[in-house]
Amino acid sequence: MMNFVDTYRCTLCGRTVLPHEAEGTCPSCGEKGILDVEYDYAKLRGFLDRSWLERNPLRTMFRYIPLLPLEDPSVSKMLPIGWTPLIRMDALERTLGLRSLHVKDEGANPSGSLKDRASAIAVLRAISEGKKTVACSSTGNAASSLACHAARMGLEAVIFVPGRAPVGKLNQIMIHGAEVVMVDGDYKAAYALSKDAIETFGWYNRNAAVNANLVEGKKTAAYEIIEMLGFEVPDWVVVSVGDGCTIAGLHKGFYDFMKLGIIDRLPRLLGVQSKGCAPLAEAFRTGKLKEAKEDTIADSIAVGIPRNPVKALSAVSSSKGTWVTVDDEAILDAMRTLGKHGIFAEPASAAGYAGLEEARRQNIIKEGESVVFVHTGHGLKDPENARRAVGTPEPVKADMSALKHRFKTKGE
């Protein structure tokens, strides 16, 4: 397979780096100098158009391989990641007064979250670089996803988790046989230790924000949204934000399709953060990025020092989008609302839906507009917070009269 990567460019200083430096950050800017992968759009334009997409038989994210930084032939052995359902939500779109509302169901990925799209790139690049071990620090989904795909492809995974990882995600990591380093501390501490360990032991680094290639995996969700809408561009795409890689990835996907002439405008991006941890929404308002506390049930987006602020903020701004914040009560409420319409979302994912409701309340998203909500992670990953949303059932005596009484009193 041919590779259409042109160069890797620093998002801060604009310097380009050599391919062998491409898994890291800019040598001039250090940690903050996140790179961006640039493609040879002129070459791609020659063949990658709507009809190429329509003729493409592959129903996974690997249908977009010319637009990914991959050359590895082991793609066919990967679990089927991507091409997740785009579901029309008729009842909710009426409630919200929208022309259309679709849910992009990333919970349908093999490990139950959108992180699979980035892990795919990590695992395949690790294999082509001859690495035997992949590593990351994560509050859960990046790790459970990496553990899953590393196991499938015969790699070792070393996962640094902070003390507060939700049980469902931790179980996934363990079931897939990864080496778990449970760091006594928060995400920041786990991240710092993983960074040192990756350098010391020479493992493949799946810390999404600092590895430009991984965002490329996430952008495939945007391609799928456009294809599945029959090449119509929605007015808004709504997603929750932690490090900022997901929203940056979505922007990149829409941008690529613009560059290729497949669509003629970008959807506006609504970035949603939890009130208990909203450094990017704050930075958008004040112009200054400050460390935030991590006080929210939405663990996947509780990132006090986002690793990808430049790309995330410019993704939203250049799409003419904006940011909203939602509190934990609104998140629990969104979990119940989505659940009643067949969608089981973990808190971080439901936060995006709560943000959509908030944006309608503030009339940021207008009546009659079309919206895609990206549902980023399955609710089974965090059973404790699901219980918090709905409680536990009252037991009933095993006889009919008790049951009749219960249905009578429930009819209020």
Report the C-alpha gap between 56 and 228 in whole angstroms: 13
240 binds, among ligand PLP, Zn ion, none (CB under 5 to 8 A by kind): ligand PLP
Closest distance to ligand PLP from the beta carbon of 352 (Å): 7
Check residue 10 for interaction with Zn ion (CB under 5 A): yes
Binding map of ligand PLP across residues 195-234, x = CB under 6 A, - = no contact: ----------------------------------------
CB closer to ligand PLP, 301 vs 324: 301
- Amino acid symbol at 297: I
Closest distance to ligand PLP from the beta carbon of 145 (Å): 8
Residues 160, 183 contacting (CB under 8 angstroms): yes
Check residue 243 for interaction with ligand PLP (CB under 6 A): yes
Q: Which residues face 326 on adjacent strands?
A: 274
Q: What are phi and psi of 165, to 5 degrees?
A: -60, 130
CB closer to Zn ion, 183 vs 310: 310
**Running DSSP on this structure, what letter comes out for residue 232?**
P
CA–CA distances in Å: residue 31 to residues 223, 307, 309: 29, 9, 12
Considering only residues 144 to 163 of the shown chain, the ones binding ligand PLP according to CB under 6 A are: none
Check residue 253 for interaction with ligand PLP (CB under 6 A): no
CB closer to ligand PLP, 242 vs 276: 242
Check residue 28 for interaction with Zn ion (CB under 5 A): yes
Other Cβ atoms within 10 Å of 42 Cβ, number: 10
SS3 content of the chain, % helix, strand, coil (to 5): 45, 15, 35
Report the C-alpha gap between 107 and 379 in whole angstroms: 8
Check residue 355 for interaction with Zn ion (CB under 5 A): no
Check residue 377 for interaction with ligand PLP (CB under 6 A): yes
Selected binder of Zn ion within 22, 29, 193, 228 (CB under 5 A): 29
Selected binder of ligand PLP within 109, 111, 119, 141 (CB under 6 A): 141
Total binding residues for ligand PLP by CB under 6 A?
18
Check residue 382 for interaction with ligand PLP (CB under 6 A): no
Q: Which two tokens stand for residue 220?
A: 């495939």
Q: Which residues face 16 on adjacent strands?
A: 9
Sheet of 236-240, strand order: 86-88, 100-105, 370-375, 236-240, 268-274, 322-326
194 binds, among Zn ion, ligand PLP, none (CB under 5 to 8 A by kind): none
Check residue 172 for interaction with ligand PLP (CB under 6 A): no
CB closer to ligand PLP, 301 vs 359: 301
Check residue 362 for interaction with Zn ion (CB under 5 A): no
Which residue's Cβ has the minimum distance to ligand PLP?
377
Check residue 16 for interaction with Zn ion (CB under 5 A): no
The span from the first CA to the last CA of the chain, in angstroms, equals: 63
Q: What are phi and psi of 246, to 5 degrees?
A: -65, -50
Selected binder of ligand PLP within 172, 194, 296, 349 (CB under 6 A): 349
Report the C-alpha gap between 146 and 10 in whole angstroms: 26
Check residue 301 for interaction with ligand PLP (CB under 6 A): yes
CA–CA distances in Å: residue 228 to residues 103, 107, 261, 270: 11, 17, 17, 20
For residue 322, give the 3-state DSSP assignment. Answer: strand
Q: Which two tokens stand for residue 46?
A: 């020659």
Q: Which two tokens stand for residue 129?
A: 């670089």
29 binds, among Zn ion, ligand PLP, none (CB under 5 to 8 A by kind): Zn ion
Q: Which two tokens stand for residue 315?
A: 């993704």
Check residue 24 for interaction with Zn ion (CB under 5 A): no
For residue 272, give the 3-state DSSP assignment. Answer: strand
CB closer to ligand PLP, 146 vs 260: 146
Residue 88 parent element (H or E): strand 86-88
Selected binder of ligand PLP within 279, 376, 379, 386 (CB under 6 A): 376
Closest distance to Zn ion from the beta carbon of 39 (Å): 20
243 binds, among Zn ion, ligand PLP, none (CB under 5 to 8 A by kind): ligand PLP
Other Cβ atoms within 10 Å of 394 Cβ, number: 7
Q: Supply angle C-alpha 196, 199, 204, rounded to 5.
A: 115
Considering only residues 99 to 138 of the shown chain, the ones binding ligand PLP according to CB under 6 A are: 113, 115
Give contact residues for ligand PLP (rule: CB under 6 A). 113, 115, 141, 240-247, 300-301, 346, 348-349, 376-377
